[in-house]
Homo-oligomer: A and B are copies of this chain.
Amino acid sequence: MLILTTGGTIDKVYFDAASEFEVGEPTVPHIFEDVGADIDYELVPLFRKDSLEMTDEDREQIRAACEASGHRQILITHGTDTMALTAEALIGISGKVIVLTGAMAPARFRVTDAIFNIGSAVGALQSLSDGVYLAMNGRIFEAGKVRKNREVGRFEATS
């Protein structure tokens, strides 16, 4: 499995020195260790960005990294605000199953959706046919058919 990390809330840590939250190192390996996941993976940290800062060029770079990889299963962690947009930008890559996920609350919080979301992405990755998907709120959405509803803080299918 290839894991591409791009930043987002899931990886936010608190720097006391700055009294600020910033995107830190990828938390996926720590989650895997805590939960006893028995998964072979290659980790490629691409960016440490809030997803609102993600550009078209960044998305091209993510797409290129997916296409160039020898892995069929690709997990991408991403900020939630433009996760649906990045998913769309990956449509059409052949021979790959790609699942994007992230979190509304940082993985380092006591109550967080990060660990559950990584779990659901990993479960879906091993079960889906080729394509691009988004795993959030316990649901698996197809790329191009999902949006974040900011008012209710939840992803939903578009009609």
Encode contact with B along A70-111: 1 for CB under 8 Å, 0 otherwise.
000000000111000000000000000000000011101111
Q: Which residue of B lies closest to A156 (CB)?
A: B38
Residue of B31, B127, B150 near A140 (CB, 8 A) is B127
A34 part of interface (Cβ distance < 8 Å): yes
CB pair B140–A35 under 8 Å, yes or no, is no
CB pair B110–A110 under 8 Å, yes or no, is yes
The oligomer's copy count stands at 4
Q: Could you tell me how many residues of chain A have their Cβ less than 8 Å away from some Cβ of chain B? A: 54
Residue of B16, B35, B123, B154 near A123 (CB, 8 A) is B123
A11 part of interface (Cβ distance < 8 Å): no
* Given A120-B119, A127-B140, A154-B36, A20:B21 Cβ within 8 A: yes
